[in-house]
């Protein structure tokens, strides 16, 4: 007589579904209120965006709900009696696996399909059915369910205890991102000048953190692309961007591989492993040493934040983590006789710590040679001052250097920092310099980040940081490029018309009334403290730009210096008993801002004049110093007409009456 064994058992399937009905029914009820009920109450036609936005919530549902389903359908593997019972069923192991896997998958897919149908009926009943939006929702939820559930099933095959499944699942979902974040923090606090791990490392970590990757899916709004306004009679048509479709497809392929791996693990799984933390014997060393290393990094980080001494704590916690993992595996506290493994992992961690601490690779001292550097990307290049000076777009801006002369200046600054080893900012008398830089060389890229004190060395003596900074700050051509004025000039020469506005801000302190007899303030106006007038005619823009250029290269505008007790773009009133005038700083310059701040805001944006700028955008803000005579004279000559055209008034008296 032939055996009755099969690869799928309908009775077992029905038993699993009915036994765990509270799980999938609760899931169905929650989503019923999130989508169809909500859209019925609030109007389905006008709330299609709710369908797409609900996908962000669904990711968290899929992440949290999947291990619950997996633990339910695999629960027979974690207790010896139930494991032995399932082994006696007249169903092959392959059949049990496929039956249980399918049952758990239906816990999500069937409720999703019901929600899809109910939501579609609600929307159709209210006048419109958006097929692209609804089928997009169903497709994305199905793919995410398939991936995270398959991931949880694979983790369930590795675990021998029901509590180990969610732990493995949670750790594997975020361990790579967390591990690299710890490594990045440790290197940043150990290596002087370390900026961050390479960008490709973050990309890999993102792929290995699926929840984070799914949250980054981009949607295309067809109505926005057609410049159609939002209307309750015209529901938005959403669909996934092409790149997001590829992301989902790749994860679905990975899910198939995980299901296959779980299938073969189930076939070879020992019944005796029920109750063990790690069910696969060959993975026990991976678990043990993985826990040891992660303990060393994480607990070392936590302890260092509390009491310091990172290298020592990393080694100590690595050894402690090893013994803790061994206790979990052996289910016993008598593990210290297995000290050989602790010695090995402790020695490896010690070697790694010494390599970083002693800078065996020469990371901290490495400065590339000028001939090897093709270009430098500099970002957030900023020099602090204690004079209340407001920064503009040349501070904290990003720029690229390709000229060898300019590259040499930043290499000299880098070398001065490294040779001087001045250390991180700790409140030096002249503030600090902060910047990130990336060298593009013939051998690859080198990235560094510094925030260091600027001390009062002689600025004319070659070598110190102060000398290197003065060379950069005194180069007008370089700062013309840092501001982006060279790009603006090219844009205007090609016929482009930038957006330009002049801003004047006045600050009142208490009941003190601002008073100034300076003629240049005649046309500066006041309107709730912040005042801006647009300069739109090309001739006016060109006149202002030419004046800015003249003042800039004459050293009357956009000047920076680090010489001790000097200020930037401001004139400090030498007599504290006199009232503050335009451009002066009040006596207590450390606690309040300047009385008057003028600035130009210039934007290079999409232009129909030159195709090269159709997708380009750059914003330039420059503070106008009181010394910028040419710029101020041109602007004040334009202000009366511009203010009249734009309906602006000079109401200085009423403004200060308001603050009395």
Pick left, alpha or beta for residue 93 (phi over 0 → left; psi -120 to 50 → alpha; otherwise beta): alpha
**Between 339 and 590, residue with greater pLDDT:** 339
CA dihedral 431, 437, 439, 445 (to 10 degrees): 130
pLDDT at position 347: 95
Q: How many residues does the chain have?
A: 660
C-alpha 125/C-alpha 43 separation (Å) is 10
Q: How confident is the model at residue 515 (pLDDT cuts 50, 70, 90)?
A: very low
Contacting residues for 433 by C-beta, under 8 A, at least 6 apart: 382, 383, 384, 450, 451, 452, 454, 465, 469
pLDDT at position 38: 82
Q: How confident is the model at residue 6 (pLDDT cuts 50, 70, 90)?
A: low
| Cβ atoms of residues 491 and 604 within 8 Å | yes
Total-model pTM? 0.75
Helix, strand, or coil here: 159?
strand
Q: Is the pLDDT of residue 284 over 60?
A: yes
Pick left, alpha or beta for residue 43 (phi over 0 → left; psi -120 to 50 → alpha; otherwise beta): left
Average pLDDT over every residue of 542-551: 95
Q: Is the pLDDT of residue 423 over 80?
A: no
Order across the sheet with 499-506: list the strands. 530-535, 499-506, 596-604, 618-623
Place of tokens 């669904």: 58
**Between 217 and 592, residue with greater pLDDT:** 217
Both tokens assigned to 458: 């002689």
**Between 532 and 652, residue with greater pLDDT:** 532
Average pLDDT over every residue of 85-96: 81
pLDDT at position 80: 83
Most confident listed range (229-233, 462-466, 627-631): 627-631
Average pLDDT over every residue of 157-167: 92
pLDDT at position 454: 78
DSSP state of 377: E
C-alpha 520/C-alpha 637 separation (Å) is 10
C-alpha 363/C-alpha 368 separation (Å) is 11
% of the chain at pLDDT higher than 90:
40
pLDDT at position 228: 41
Contacting residues for 124 by C-beta, under 8 A, at least 6 apart: none
Choose the weakest-confidence range: 134-138, 499-503, 506-510, 571-575: 571-575
% of the chain at pLDDT higher than 70:
77
Read out DSSP for 401-451? E--HHHHHHHHHHHHHHHHHT--B-S--TT-EEEEEEEEEETTEEEEEEEE
pLDDT tens digit string along 12-65?
899 999 999 999 999 999 999 988 888 888 765 445 566 767 777 888 889 999
HEC assignment per residue over 582-608: CCCCCCCCCCCCCCEEEEEEEEECCCC
C-alpha 138/C-alpha 124 separation (Å) is 16
Torsion angles phi and psi, residue 521, rounded to 5 = -90, 5
Choose the weakest-confidence range: 246-250, 468-472, 605-609: 605-609
pLDDT at position 158: 93
Q: How far apart are the first and last CA of the chain?
A: 105
Choose the weakest-confidence range: 353-362, 388-397, 508-517: 508-517
Q: Which of 123, 168, 173 is nearest to 144 (CA)?
A: 173
C-alpha distances (whole Å) from 139 to each of 110, 223, 259 are: 13, 21, 19
Q: How confident is the model at residue 428 (pLDDT cuts 50, 70, 90)?
A: low
Number of CB atoms found within 10 A of residue 78's CB: 22
Both tokens assigned to 259: 């299901």
C-alpha 316/C-alpha 350 separation (Å) is 9
Mean pLDDT of the chain: 80
C-alpha distances (whole Å) from 332 to each of 78, 300, 336, 581 are: 19, 25, 10, 79
Helix, strand, or coil here: 186?
helix
With residues binned 3-state (H G I as helix, E B as strand, rest as coil), the percentages for the chain, rounded to 5, are 55, 10, 35
Q: Which of 548, 554, 598, 595 is nearest to 572 (CA)?
A: 595
Average pLDDT over every residue of 97-103: 94
Q: How confident is the model at residue 651 (pLDDT cuts 50, 70, 90)?
A: low
pLDDT at position 660: 38
| Cβ atoms of residues 560 and 547 within 8 Å | no
Read out DSSP for 525-540? --STTEEEEEE-SHHH
pLDDT tens digit string along 582-633?
333 333 322 323 345 788 999 887 654 444 445 567 889 998 888 888 998 8
Place of tokens 């019901």: 114
C-alpha 120/C-alpha 135 separation (Å) is 10
C-alpha 541/C-alpha 545 separation (Å) is 6
pLDDT at position 626: 80
């Amino acid at each position: 007589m032939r055996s009755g064994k099969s690869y799928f058992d309908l009775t077992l399937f029905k038993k699993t579904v009915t036994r765990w009905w509270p799980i999938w029914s609760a899931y169905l009820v929650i989503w019923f209120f999130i989508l169809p009920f909500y859209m019925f109450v609030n109007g389905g036609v006008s709330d299609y965006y709710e369908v797409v936005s609900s996908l962000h919530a669904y990711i968290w549902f899929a992440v949290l709900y999947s291990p619950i389903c997996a633990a339910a359908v695999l629960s027979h593997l974690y207790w010896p009696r139930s494991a032995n019972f399932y082994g006696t069923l007249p169903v092959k192991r392959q059949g049990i696996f496929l039956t249980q896997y399918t049952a758990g998958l239906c816990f999500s897919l069937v409720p999703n399909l019901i929600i899809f149908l109910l939501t579609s009926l609600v929307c159709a009943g209210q006048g419109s059915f958006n097929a692209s939006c609804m089928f997009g929702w169903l497709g994305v939820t199905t793919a995410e369910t398939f991936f995270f559930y398959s991931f949880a099933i694979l983790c369930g095959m590795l675990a021998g205890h029901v509590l180990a499944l969610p732990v493995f699942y949670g750790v594997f979902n975020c361990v790579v991102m967390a591990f690299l974040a710890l490594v990045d923090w440790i290197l940043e606090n150990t290596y002087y000048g370390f900026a961050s791990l390479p960008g490709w490392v973050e990309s890999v970590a993102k792929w290995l953190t699926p929840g984070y990757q799914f949250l980054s899916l981009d949607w295309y709004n067809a109505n926005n692309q057609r410049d159609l306004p939002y209307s309750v009679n015209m529901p938005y048509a959403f669909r996934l961007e092409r790149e997001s479709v590829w992301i989902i497809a790749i994860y679905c392929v990975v899910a198939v591989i995980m299901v296959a791996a779980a299938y073969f693990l189930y076939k070879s799984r020992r019944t005796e492993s029920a109750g063990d933390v790690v069910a696969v014997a060959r993975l026990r060393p991976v678990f043990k040493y993985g826990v040891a290393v992660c303990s060393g990094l994480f607990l070392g980080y936590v302890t260092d934040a509390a009491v310091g001494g990172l290298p020592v704590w990393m080694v100590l916690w690595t050894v402690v983590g090893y013994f803790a993992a061994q206790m979990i595996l052996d289910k016993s506290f008598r593990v210290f006789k297995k000290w050989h493994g602790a010695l090995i992992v402790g020695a490896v961690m010690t070697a790694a710590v010494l390599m970083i601490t002693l800078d065996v690779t020469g990371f901290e001292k490495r400065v590339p040679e000028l001939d090897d550097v093709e270009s430098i990307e500099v970002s957030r290049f900023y020099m602090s001052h204690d004079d209340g000076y407001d920064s503009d777009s040349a501070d904290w801006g990003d720029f690229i250097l390709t000229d060898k002369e300019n590259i040499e200046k930043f290499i000299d600054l880098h070398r001065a920092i490294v040779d001087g080893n001045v250390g991180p900012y700790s409140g030096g008398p002249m503030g600090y310099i902060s910047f990130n830089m990336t060298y593009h060389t013939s051998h690859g890229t080198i990235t560094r980040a510094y925030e260091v004190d600027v001390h009062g060395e002689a600025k004319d003596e070659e070598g110190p940081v102060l000398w290197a900074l003065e060379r950069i700050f005194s180069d007008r051509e370089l700062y013309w490029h840092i501001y982006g004025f060279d790009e603006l000039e090219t844009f205007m020469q090609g016929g482009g018309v930038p957006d330009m506005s002049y801003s004047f801000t006045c600050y009142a302190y208490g009941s003190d009334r601002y008073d100034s007899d300076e003629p240049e303030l005649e046309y500066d106006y006041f309107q709730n403290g912040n005042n801006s007038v647009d300069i739109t005619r090309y001739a006016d823009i060109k006149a202002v730009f030419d004046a800015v250029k003249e003042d800039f290269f004459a050293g009357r505008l956009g000047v920076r210096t680090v010489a001790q007790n000097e200020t930037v773009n401001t004139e400090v009133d030498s007599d504290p008993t006199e009232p503050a005038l335009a451009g002066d700083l009040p006596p207590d310059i450390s606690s309040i801002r300047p009385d008057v701040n003028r600035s130009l805001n210039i934007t290079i944006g999409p232009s129909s004049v030159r195709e090269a700028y159709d997708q380009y955008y750059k914003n330039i803000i420059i503070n106008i110093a009181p010394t910028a005579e040419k710029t101020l004279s041109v602007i004040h000559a334009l202000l009366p007409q511009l203010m009249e055209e734009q309906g602006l008034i000079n109401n200085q008296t009423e403004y200060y009456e308001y603050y009395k």
